[in-house]
Amino acid sequence: MPHVSTVSRHVLMLALLLGSVLPASAQLGRPEGLYYKSWAVIVAVDDYLVAPKLTGSVADGKAVADALKQLGFDEILELYDRDAGYRRVQHLLTHELLQKVGRQDRVVFFFAGHTGVTTDRHGHDLGYLVPWDAQVGTPAKAISLDQLKEFANRAMAKHVVFLLDAGLRGWEVTPSQQLSLEGRLSPETETDKRAVQVLTAADKGEVPARGKQASLFVEVLSSGLQGAADENQNGWLMGSELAAYVRRVIEARTVGRQHPQFAQIDGDGDVIFIEGRKHRFFAKAPTTDAERLATAKELYEEALSLLQKQRPPAEALELLDHAIAYHPTFGEAYVLKSYIYLDLVPRLDEALAAANLAVKHAPENPDSHFTLGLIWQRKGRFPEAERAFQQALAVNPRYSDVYLALGDLYADGLKDASKAVEAYRHYVETGGTDPRAKSMIEKLEMAPRTSGTP
């Protein structure tokens, strides 16, 4: 068995591979996930005070609330029937949420009930929502779309999304964004950008269809939020993806009679409804060798970052496997993979396989040979370990930790005191600071010398 000190070299090996670990303070000010907090406001009315009564709006609101609960939303404020009066909704939008919602939060606002559209003096549409105690056709006591937009402008949230189960228009918007992930680089890029989005069930003048158990809009929306809208199967569900799915499915099921509307009211970001694994967030699969190598390097860097943060090694291994799939000759991925299997998830056979590939694809990296030597040493294959360590030194003659590993190998495995002393001396000469090296030199020089084991 190798000397116990060899284990300490494995810890140093990780430090050499990863560099210094980020201090905890480096993460301050950043959310652990994509958002600090997720808010949902559900407003739905069936039993209107003066307007004609409806059927199914409250049930639709509860269905959306359940779907958002499944996505892990922290705060879901549900206002049904008389709780959805004008003053209550107004207070929620102009005071309560403005005081509570933070800069790293997202807000989803859903409405089901009567709506209407009027016009301003310039003939522009002015859409509005009818609260419990208002009348259809009386916008003075309604919640206008401009008021919703004003709430979005004043709210600190990065992302605000309005889901309106109605057919209406009525606010100025920025040009619509493309409904794809083309050109996007990372989920952080999207979540750091401001975004205010709106998705309606239908266009102005269209009557939203009913499904089997809910409105068609809510049925399709719920299905999309459960993952059906992730049509590129990358594990991420963006607001624009959800809108594209809802529009396509509803237009198909109504044979073109209902046209959901999606608009980017403000900003150029995108809400993220479902957070997948970071390494799968690629808008477009790399096609050229340069693109595949760049992708592999990104995955490798993320694997390093996970290890720095002391995340489970299995997560880093998964990223490294994806990196290798993109670029099978990316040797650095094999180096790190062999180290993980050597010390963090001890599987010597897997470690050996990865180390051999590291030597093949990254022979100029001394860590390829060093890790291979450590694996052979752990397996008790001392001559093979010696050859691997010597190869590491051929690449980098001043790699002090290799000399320390050689000293241990000669002292405990190959039983060659003179070579052990020589290796320990080289360790000290090349800047090694482990005091054990000097103590081993003294100990071995006092003991009877032996020639190398054949």
CA 118 – CA 165 distance, rounded (Å): 18
- DSSP state letters, 36-102: S-EEEEEEE-SS-SSSPP-SSHHHHHHHHHHHHHHTT-SEEEEEEGGGG-HHHHHHIIIIIHHHH--
pLDDT at 245 exceeding the cut of 50: yes
| C-beta neighbour count of 27 within 10 angstroms | 11
The verdict on residue 454 lying in a domain is no
- AA letter at 221: L
168 and 98 both lie in a single domain: yes
In this structure, is residue 280 part of a structural domain?
Answer: no
**Which of 386, 445, 390 lies closest to 421 in space, CA to CA?**
445
Q: What is the pLDDT of residue 119?
A: 79
5: confidence class by pLDDT, cuts 50, 70, 90: very low
Give the confidence band of 18 by pLDDT, cuts at 50, 70, 90.
very low
- HSE-up (13 A, CA, CB side) for residue 151: 28
What's the pLDDT tens digit per position in 272-328? Answer: 998 876 555 555 556 788 888 988 898 898 888 888 888 889 988 988 998 898 899
Least confident of 64-78, 96-110, 202-216, 384-398: 202-216
Question: Quick one: pLDDT at residue 243?
Answer: 95
Number of Cβ within a 10 Å radius of residue 3: 19
pLDDT in tens, 101-156: 999 999 999 999 999 888 777 777 788 999 999 999 888 889 999 899 999 999 99
DSSP track, 264-300: EEEES---EEE---GGG--SS---SHHHHHHHHHHHH
In the three-class reduction of DSSP (H, G, I as helix; E, B as strand; rest coil), residue 122 is classed as coil
In tens, the pLDDT along 316-375 reads 898 899 889 889 999 999 999 999 999 898 899 999 999 999 999 999 999 999 999 999
Residues 378, 290, single domain; the answer is yes
* Residue type at 220 in one-letter notation: V
Residue 221 shares a structural domain with residue 334: no
Same domain, yes or no: 431 and 300? yes
CATH number for the domain that contains residue 144 = 3.40.50.1460
pLDDT above 70 as % of the chain: 84
Structure tokens at 381: 């294959």
pLDDT at 75 over 80: yes
Among 430, 395, 396, 392, CA closest to 409:
392
- For residues 182 and 292, membership in a common domain is answered with no
Whether residues 221 and 349 share a domain: the answer is no
Same domain for 44 and 158? yes
pLDDT at position 171: 62
Residue with tokens 């605000």: 160
Two tokens, residue 445:
């020089």
The Cα-based distances of 176 to 155, 194, 281, 380 in angstroms read 22, 15, 22, 65
Q: Which of 274, 298, 317 is the last residue of a domain?
A: 274
The answer to the question of residue 123 being in a domain is: yes
Average pLDDT of span 190-199 = 84
Q: What is the pLDDT of residue 51?
A: 95
Domain-embedded: residue 374? yes
Q: What pLDDT is attached to residue 97?
A: 96
Does some domain include residue 279? no
Tell me what pLDDT residue 139 has. Answer: 84
Residue 451 lies in a domain: no
For residues 44 and 93, the answer to whether their CB atoms sit within 8 Å is no
Instruction: Return d(Cα 342, Cα 380) in angstroms, integer.
Output: 14
Nearest-angstrom CA–CA distance, 60 and 248:
20
**Which of 246, 274, 302 is the last residue in one of the domains?**
274
The answer to whether residues 246 and 289 belong to one domain is no
Beta bridge partners of 262: 199
Higher pLDDT, 233 or 117: 117
**Cα separations in angstroms, 218 against 193, 198, 290:** 27, 15, 44
- 307: which strand partners? none
Same domain, 221 and 196: yes
Domain range for 397 is 5-25+285-446
pLDDT of residue 261: 93
Per-residue confidence (pLDDT) for residue 112, from 0 to 100:
97
Mean pLDDT of the chain: 84
Task: Please report, rounded to a whole number, the percentage of residues in the chain having pLDDT higher than 90.
Answer: 57
Does residue 452 form part of some domain?
no
Q: What Å distances lie between residue 338 and 12, 168, 402, CA to CA?
A: 15, 59, 17
Of 274, 301, 319, the residue that ends a domain is 274
Predicted confidence at residue 348, as pLDDT, reads 94
Same-domain status, 122 and 199: yes
Judge whether 440 lies within some domain: yes
- pLDDT (0 to 100) of residue 24: 32
237 with 378, same domain?
no
pLDDT digits (tens, 9 = 90+) for 24-74: 322 223 334 688 999 999 999 999 999 999 999 999 999 999 999 999 998
Instruction: Tell me the C-alpha distance between 432 and 398, whole Å.
Output: 10
Provide the CB-side half-sphere exposure for 204 (13 A, CA).
12
Binned at pLDDT 50, 70 and 90, residue 176 comes out as very low
| Residues 223 and 320 grouped into a single domain | no
Amino acid identity at 20: S
Count of domains observed in the chain = 2
Amino acid 125: pLDDT: 79
**What is the CATH number for 299?**
1.25.40.10
Average pLDDT rounded to a whole number, residues 169-180: 50
